[in-house]
């Protein structure tokens, strides 16, 4: 095994990881590890925008209240306050570094999205906001000579010594590396790939969550998974997200009979929170015995639609859907995980030397349901906070000779990998999806238990390591959903629809033998 040393190790290259790298650069050498090319992350695919209280009609306090309301009573107010108060500065930084956000004349152009009470969502090039933010951050990171990149590298596990994180084991081109660092920042994103329908790219297999869990980190609120209401549903088409902004600009949801239905489910209709809209769509699909509903923009000006949603327009056209003339078939898909590695507002985890930022974490900023377009802002704000805290680490790089030997000589093998991966994702979608109950969750627990032997082995391919991580996270999501016998935000139990008694957090920990334990906090 080869040993590499660096001052700071960042695992992940989305908005949170890259913003942490920028923050850490003045403090020493930074190594950014990513399992694909640098820009392949959920950030690259984020269309909806970035929410920030900077318009003349908006206030930080209003953004704060909207976030709390969407979080359904489970947000940590301290984390929300940090997000909304520090957000504007991070956006101005991006503009200074070359970000091109959409403007109305000389002013930034803010739009309205679901559950926002003001027009506060910034976009870039209509519907390519994440792509623009990623471009700017990559250019910034590339300009910093002290930041090295390590692409196409799979993080296997964390290097631990006496309960302290000293770096990570990295698999690259069939070779294992022990990368030692003063501090490690996890910024690996979420785990949408554990569901058969998801907006997330192939790389989002919950690696950071599983890695942290195995190292002994506290995980929190894993049952809260947000399902985006409007994802393209068409033969041969990808599971392509259709931005919240389409409804914010006046798009209507209709069932297969052409009837608008959202007013039957919520007074805010199309602009209701995502969890409400997703459940309404599922209910309408069941009622009409259909696989989808339709998003209708045909009453909007065609020139406006093409200019406002150029990427969506071009993509749908490839599948013979002209969004200016045709109703778009849509259904929900897994989109974002509110739960994750428990951190404070500086990204500090329960493990010394380990920091985390972005979707891999649970800061409490989203509560039980994330407010639309708060995730890119979260990555910017808390990526910087984690970088700031990690940069203040006074520990030295571990001596390889002082570390306990880790055996990577014996590897397991997962037979029929594609088949069981498909099976796991289908179980999670069918049994642990938008609407849950004891019967479905018990069935999921039983089916997932068939795979637990896989967790006892180490593997030498990216695909096998990803499946191990997906399984570990799927079990946590399922167990959390089973334990929480009530409904709150994105977690909905048809057998326990009440909110009363639901305002608590579920924390998880794994011991050295691989046994899970939970506490209510």
In contact, 216 and 222? CB cutoff 8 Å = no
CB atoms within 10 A of CB 289: 7
- CA distance linking residue 347 with residue 352, whole number of Å: 11
Which tokens hold the place of 474?
């799927």
- In angstroms, what CA-CA distances link 35 with 172, 239, 255, 491, 521? 9, 22, 40, 30, 34
Q: Which of 225, 212, 216, 325 is nearest to 274 (CA)?
A: 225
Q: 26 pairs with which residues across the strands? A: none
Sequence-distant (≥ 6) Cβ neighbours of residue 220 within 8 angstroms:
339, 340, 341, 342, 362, 505, 506, 507, 508, 521
Q: Which member of 274, 327, 370, 462 is catalytic?
A: 274
Name the nearest CA neighbour of 343 among 7, 68, 13, 16. 16
What's the CA gap between 487 and 501, in Å, rounded? 10
Alpha carbon distance 426, 195 (integer Å)? 7
d(CA 180, CA 168) in angstroms, rounded, equals: 7
**Which one, of 220, 166, 80, lies nearest residue 406 by Cα?**
166
The residue assigned the tokens 């195995």 is: 214
Q: Name 108's bridge partners.
A: 103
- Identify whether 274 is a catalytic site residue: yes
Residues catalogued as catalytic: 274
């Amino acid at each position: 095994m080869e040993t590499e040393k660096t001052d700071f190790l960042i695992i992940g290259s989305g908005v949170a990881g890259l913003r942490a790298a920028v923050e850490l650069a003045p403090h020493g050498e930074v190594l950014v590890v990513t399992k694909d090319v640098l820009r392949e992350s959920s950030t690259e695919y984020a269309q909806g925008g970035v929410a920030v209280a900077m318009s003349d009609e908006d206030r930080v306090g209003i953004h704060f209240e909207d976030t709390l309301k969407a979080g359904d009573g489970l947000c940590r107010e301290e984390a929300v306050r940090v997000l909304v108060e520090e957000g504007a500065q991070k956006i101005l930084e991006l503009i200074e570094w070359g970000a091109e956000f959409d403007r109305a004349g000389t002013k930034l152009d803010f739009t309205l999205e679901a559950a926002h009470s003001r027009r506060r969502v910034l976009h870039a090039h209509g519907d390519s906001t994440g792509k623009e933010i990623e471009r700017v951050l990559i250019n910034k990171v590339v300009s910093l000579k002290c930041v090295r990149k390590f692409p196409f590298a799979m993080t296997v596990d964390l290097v631990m010594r006496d309960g302290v994180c000293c770096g990570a084991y990295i698999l690259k081109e069939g070779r294992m590396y022990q990368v030692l660092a003063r501090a490690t920042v996890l910024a690996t994103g979420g785990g949408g790939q554990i569901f058969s329908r998801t907006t997330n790219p192939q790389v989002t297999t919950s690696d950071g969550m599983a890695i942290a869990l195995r190292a002994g980190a506290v995980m929190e609120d894993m049952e809260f998974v947000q399902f985006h209401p409007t994802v393209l549903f068409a033969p041969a088409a990808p599971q392509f997200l259709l931005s919240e902004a389409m409804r914010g600009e006046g798009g209507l949801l209709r069932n297969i009979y052409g009837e608008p239905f959202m007013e039957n489910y919520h007074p805010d209709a199309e602009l209701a929170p995502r969890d409400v809209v997703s459940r309404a769509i599922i209910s309408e699909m069941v009622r009409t015995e259909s696989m989808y509903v339709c998003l209708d923009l045909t009453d909007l000006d065609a020139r406006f639609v093409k200019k406002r949603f150029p990427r969506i327009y071009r993509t749908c056209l490839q599948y013979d859907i002209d969004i200016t003339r045709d109703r778009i078939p849509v259904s929900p898909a897994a989109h974002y995980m509110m739960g994750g590695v428990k951190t404070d507002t500086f990204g500090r985890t329960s493990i010394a030397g380990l920091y985390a930022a972005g979707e891999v974490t649970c800061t409490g900023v989203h509560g039980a349901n994330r407010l639309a377009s708060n995730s890119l802002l979260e990555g910017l704000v808390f990526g910087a906070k984690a970088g700031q805290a990690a940069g203040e680490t006074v520990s030295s790089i571990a001596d390889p000779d002082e570390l306990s030997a880790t055996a990577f000589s014996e590897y397991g093998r997962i037979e029929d990998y594609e088949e069981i991966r498909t099976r796991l994702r289908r179980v999670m979608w069918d049994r642990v999806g938008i609407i849950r109950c004891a019967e479905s969750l018990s069935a999921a627990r039983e089916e997932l238990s068939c795979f637990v032997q896989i967790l006892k082995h180490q593997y030498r391919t990216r695909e096998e390591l990803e499946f191990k991580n997906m399984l570990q996270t799927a079990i946590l999501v399922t167990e959390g959903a089973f334990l929480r016998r009530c409904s709150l935000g994105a977690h909905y139990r048809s057998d326990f629809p009440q909110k009363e008694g639901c305002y608590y957090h579920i924390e998880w920990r794994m011991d050295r033998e691989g046994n899970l334990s939970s506490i209510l906090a």
